[in-house]
Structure 1
Amino acid sequence: MNGVRTTTGQTIEPFGNTFRKLPKRALKRIGVVDVGSNSIRLVVFDGAARSPAYFYNEKVMAGLGQDMARTGRLNPKGIERGFSALARFAALARSMDIEPLTCVATAAMREAEDGPAFQARVEKETGLKLHIIDGEEEARLSAQGVLLGWPDARGLVCDIGGNSMELAEVANGKVGRRVSSQLGPFRLQQVPPEGLRTHVATVLDRLAEQVGTDHERIYLVGGSWRALARLDMERTGYPMTVLHEYRMTPQSLSDTIGWIERHDLGSLRSKVGISASRIELVPLAAKVLSQMIEVFRPKELAVSSYGIREGLLYEHMSDTLRRRDPLLEAARFTEKQMARLPGFGKKLFQFLAPLFPDMPPERERLVRAACLLHDTAWRAHPDYRAEACFDNVTRANMAALSHPERVFLGLALLHRYKNSRAESHMAPLFALLDEAQIRDAEILGKAMRFGAMFAIDDPSDAASLRLRDDTLELRLTATGRRLMGEVAESRFLSLCKSMGVQGVTR
């Protein structure tokens, strides 16, 4: 697929199959640079390719596109900040032996009349080749980033930048219709306030004609959306501050937008730690999102921390790698790097599987992940391992994991090291689970706590479990009897008590 040229002279280059596809579980560092209208960011991905591990992540709020809607040119101060950032990123990449970097530039670079000159300067003086992509390609890559984090994503991806806003359909692991608009906050700053609502409505009606309005969920990508979500958390007192996979109802978001309008932006910024350059764009972004809710009528809005940069990583992946579960890939990678006995997690799952008959797939993947992660906090002080496990999982950069699932996994790992959760400072997060889920997490944790006592090459050589009605039968081999000491017996009885069954040892 050949590039096309814009009226300002840039070559717009779709990626297509440009990248060499990585085989399954490839361990390779990949560096990408995203040159946006507001920020420029370098991300180096490391390790488990299907689930992004951020080896290095740096952002500079260059503001390349600030005032461009008025002047038609890149912001002069933004040019110097942007060039300095790119020169630094090129040097960092060389020191990490990551060359060449994959660099994409979006709305500001493709629309500014001096974009080609900046592009040429960057390439000449830093050696970085900036791929200037059009709006539809930007939408595709952002949607791929959502698919990287949500393999089963279905709905409409909405990516807002400084000078543009893109929409793309996602379903069945594919990106469908996509469209770009000039609804970025920098652009909207040039619209007279009295005409803003009509202008936004006109653009949204056109977008709706192109991508339809039958989307139950909108996936929000971009710093302005994340800032809005963080403010929604603050207003509602939400106990977890992880933005990825944070879900909002249209009503909650509408209430938050009204709440923002009634408060001073400076005081809100101090509460949630949003940068000054970001918070000033929030009111305009909020007006766009408010009208989007009216036009598209979604049932839910979900925040994705993954976007164009993760979409570039996804571009590298083979179809086989894309089909893998990001959570389990991340857990396997973590086990390999941090567990005392890498590979034992799979055997632990097989040993404990009889305790969880007829597991639905969504629960089985959590049990598998827990078993893979059960021994990855062993370096922490014994008094804090339970809390370290919980904190690591609930705050980890893991994909395909909802907030309740994070808490379930964290609570199971807490109980892997500790029988009781009483007086835990993590207790506010338990509210994201119902009583049945809390009980199931406790049982899983205590099962792993007991199963870890058989941490030999294969625990099935020592023991087997059988659940029958109200009885849990433990059958021991000769090896198992030698391993079944006082501590193991105590852990077995604690597991039986949590399950509400009678324990029998044979």
Structure 2
Amino acid sequence: MADMNPPDTNRRAGRKGSKKSGKVADFRYKSSPPPDNAKDRRPARNGAGRGASPHHSRNNKRPFHRPHPRQAYAALDLGTNNCRLLIARPSGENFTVIDAFSRVVKLGEGLANSGRLSDEAMDRALGALKVCSEKLRRRNVHLARSVATEACRRAENGAHFINRVRDETGIMLDIISAQEEARLAVLGCHVLLEQGHGPAVIFDIGGGSTELVLIEPGEGAVPRILDWQSVPWGVVSLTDTVSRSGSGPEQRLARYTEMRRVVSESFAPFAQRVASASQSEDIRLLGTSGTVTTLASLHLELPQYDRRAVDGLIVPSESMRDISTRLSGMSVEERCTLPCIGHDRAELVVAGCAILEAILDLWPAPQLGVADRGIREGILRSLMAADFEAAQANPVKRKPA
């Protein structure tokens, strides 16, 4: 069920190096510049000209109305490995997805070694973002927020890339802080957490970073965040950093062991802070990432990925450990043959397994909840909540037709 709590009220867009960025989900979609070919130029919808938002009228003083169930909202998440878009309409206290897009773009490929986004990676991401831009226009999106995470936070040319995206697609990406990324992930998936009264950890294994969040049930719809940590290890950054010393079974085991060591050392401060809470009898764990959904698919022995079977699934932690051990011992070619992995994930999934096992070491919950939802859903809930709150505060009386 969607929460209807208002988002944070800091209205400044995120900037690289900012400790607290992107704290309000109130960024309008900026339509793309019209094509150079004059015959293809069409009037912008809702009276919005070039560089304007479809949400505003020409005088930019149009008041908020109570969100209408036919209005479309959008959330775009450009991560280190994937570009994902969700477009949805309100449906009671929840929402209904009307369009979606996901593409592996490998934006952070080579970033760990060079410190920069490569031209090839930026071109791949721009290709995906142009598809997203067209979907946003075609769906006549009322309100949207587009965020970029670890790859753009870390890259020397991250801000340059953000400007290029704005110029070539009209999409204004907000480079959010790791703290905001963790908050949005919790907001997007906490509804799938197992029932209980004890402490819980929600984690998000990304391409360039992993966020851990300690929560407890709150009085409202959203749990209270007690502690959190972000480490710069995701499936891409860890894969690129821990070198390969060979392709035999012993070398694969050694590399996997090193991956777990590297991640565990980064998690150590958080592990120490939550040590007492992890001894509670009723600890719970929920993960949102391609790693956990892929491993859950293997647990179910699905012939192909099925979100309906995976989202909300509860899996014994030992089963996830067993699958992780099995995958880490396979060659890339062997992993490619497994359903729900394929070529795109065959190389990266081992790093995800190492991160997952490090999380299970510090938070030994007997079961793991699996979420195929996260930042995008958190953004959508924030957008709709913000619009709802604004409408409540500024009701508009419509004149009879």
Matching of residue 278 in structure 1 with residue 278 in structure 2: no
Cα deviation, residue 128, structure 1: 1.1
Q: Report whether the alignment pairs 1:56 with 2:56.
A: no
On the 8 A contact 1:162/1:185 being kept in 2, the answer is yes
Tell me the residue number matched to 1:448. none
- How far apart are 1:258 and its partner, in Å? 2.4
Q: 1:13 aligns with which of 21, 35, 41?
A: 21
User: How much does 1:321 deviate?
Assistant: 8.6
Q: Write the distance in 1 (CA, Å) between the matches of 2:65 and 2:376.
A: 16
Within 5 Å, give how 1:101-500 maps onto structure 2.
101-149=144-192, 155-170=200-215, 171-172=217-218, 173-176=222-225, 177-189=227-239, 190-192=241-243, 193=255, 195-211=258-274, 214=277, 216-234=283-301, 242-318=309-385
CA distance in 2, matches of 1:4, 1:88: 24
Asked if 2 retains the 8 angstrom alpha-carbon contact of 1:4 and 1:12, the reply is yes
Alpha-carbon contact 1:213-1:297 (below 8 Å) kept? no
2:73 touches 2:143 (CA, 8 Å); kept in 1?
Answer: no
**Amino acid aligned to 1:122:** V
Match status 1:66 vs 2:109: yes
SS at match of 1:248: strand
Query: Normalized per residue, which structure has more helix?
Result: 1
Moved more, 42-51 or 134-143: 42-51
Q: Tell me how far 1:70 sits from its aligned partner.
A: 0.7
How big is each residue's C-alpha offset from its partner over 1:462-502, in whole Å with a ceiling of 9 and x where there is no partner?
xxxxxxxxxxxxxxxxxxxxxxxxxxxxxxxxxxxxxxxxx
Q: Alpha carbons of 1:318 and 1:185: their partners in 2 closer, same or farther (altered >3 Å)?
A: closer
Q: Could you tell which deviates more after superposition, 125-134 or 135-144?
A: 125-134
TM-score by length of 1: 0.57
Q: Any idea what SS the aligned residue of 1:272 has?
A: coil
Over residues 315-358 of structure 1, what are the superposed CA-to-partner deviations in whole Å (9 max), with x where a residue is unaligned? 13449999xxxxxxxxxxxxxxxxxxxxxxxxxxxxxxxxxxxx
Match of 1:83 in 2: 126
Aligned length: 317
TM-fit CA distance, 1:175? 4.0
For 1:94 and 1:199, locate their aligned partners in 2 and report how far apart those are by CA, in whole Å: 44
Distance (whole Å) between structure 1 residues aligned to residue 111 and residue 378 of structure 2: 26
Q: 2:326, 2:362 → 1: CA distance?
A: 21
* Secondary structure, counterpart of 1:84 in structure 2: helix
Unaligned ranges ≥5, structure 2:
1-9, 29-63, 244-254, 390-401
> Shift of residue 75 of structure 1?
3.1
Computing the radius of gyration over CA atoms, which structure comes out larger, 1 or 2?
A: 1
Q: CA deviation at 1:101?
A: 3.1
Q: Equivalent residue for 1:332?
A: none
Structure 1 residues 292-318: Cα deviation after superposition (integer angstroms, max 9, x where no partner): 212211121110111000000111344
- Residue pair 1:38, 1:64 contacting (<8 A) in 2 also: yes
Q: Deviations over 1:93-134 (max 9, x none)?
A: 112211553100000011101111110111122221101101
Q: Per the alignment, in what secondary structure is the counterpart of residue 84 of structure 2? A: strand
Deviation at 1:211, TM superposition (A): 4.9
Distance 1:150 1:49, change over 3 A: farther
- Per-residue Cα deviation, 1:432-484 (whole angstroms, up to 9, x for no partner): xxxxxxxxxxxxxxxxxxxxxxxxxxxxxxxxxxxxxxxxxxxxxxxxxxxxx
CA distance in 2, matches of 1:317, 1:178: 25
Distance in 2 (alpha carbons) for counterparts of 1:47 and 1:241: 20
Letter in 1 for 2:127: S
1:270: how far off? 3.6
Q: TM-score, normalised by structure 2?
A: 0.70
Measure, in 1, the Cα distance between the counterparts of 2:106 and 2:202.
24
Letter paired with 1:198: R
| Distance in 2 (alpha carbons) for counterparts of 1:133 and 1:4 | 5
Gapped regions of structure 1 (runs ≥ 5): 323-506
Select the structure with the greater relative contact order (CA < 8 A; seq sep ≥ 6): 2
SS of corresponding position for 1:53 = strand
Amino acid paired to 1:118 = F
Amino acid at match of 1:209: Q
Contact 1:25/1:50 (8 A) holds in 2: no
SS in 2 for 1:65: coil
Paired AA for residue 229 in structure 2 = V
Structure 1 pair 231/151, CA: closer, same or farther in 2 (3 Å)? closer
CA contact (8 A) 1:230 1:243 kept: yes
State the Cα distance separating 1:272 from its structure 2 match. Answer: 1.7
CA gap of 1:308–1:267, structure 2 versus 1, over 3 A, is same
Distance 2:258 2:332 in 1: 23
Note the alpha carbon deviations across 1:2-32, whole angstroms, 9 max, x for none: 456435xx89632236479996884431111
Q: Give secondary structure in 2 for the equivalent of 1:298.
A: coil
Structure 2 CA distance for partners of 1:321 and 1:252, relative to 1, 3 Å: farther
Measured in 2, the distance between the counterparts of 1:123 and 1:240 equals 32
Maintained 8 Å contact 1:178/1:211: no
User: How many Å separate the matches in 2 of 1:234 and 1:199?
Assistant: 30
In structure 2, the partner of 1:496 is none
